């Protein structure tokens, strides 16, 4: 999954066209080093998630299962968020990028919620607590 998320995200960013107020096309480049460092967070986040979820099998403690699924959802969301925003920071060009930190926080909270709910649905469908 990790080696799918990054290329799809990066190719999606390559498909982006940026225009100035006068309609002229602005060139968008990516800093190679920052782009490179946007890959490990998604790998680490997914690794931690898989590690937590792997330990669900054989656990009878419902509370421990819920905490592991929550941790896996948070780990995945943080990995995806870090990859995404490091990718955005790697954008270079003759323009300014402004970040709304409230919206960044909101997207990370939403990602954590969606990842966790998705994992709950998957494990509920498989009959695990």
pLDDT digits (tens, 9 = 90+) for 2-39: 567 767 777 777 777 788 888 888 888 889 899 889 88
In angstroms, rounded to a whole number, what is the distance separating the alpha carbons of residues 24 and 116? 42
In angstroms, rounded to a whole number, what is the distance separating the alpha carbons of residues 47 and 58? 20
Condensed to tens digits (0 to 9), the pLDDT of residues 107-124 reads 989 988 998 888 888 777
Q: Is the pTM of this model over 0.85?
A: no
């Amino acid at each position: 999954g990790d080696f799918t998320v990054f290329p799809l995200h990066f190719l999606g960013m390559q498909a982006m066209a940026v225009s100035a107020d006068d309609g002229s096309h602005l060139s968008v480049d990516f800093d190679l080093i920052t782009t490179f460092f946007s890959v490990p967070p998604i790998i680490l986040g997914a690794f931690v998630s898989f590690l937590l979820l792997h330990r669900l099998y054989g656990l009878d403690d419902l509370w421990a299962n819920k905490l592991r699924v929550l941790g896996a959802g948070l780990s995945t969301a943080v990995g995806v968020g870090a990859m995404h925003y490091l990718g955005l920071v790697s954008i270079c060009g003759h323009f300014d990028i402004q970040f709304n930190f409230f919206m960044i926080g909101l997207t990370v909270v939403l990602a954590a919620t969606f990842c966790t709910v998705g994992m709950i649905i998957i494990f509920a469908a498989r009959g695990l607590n």
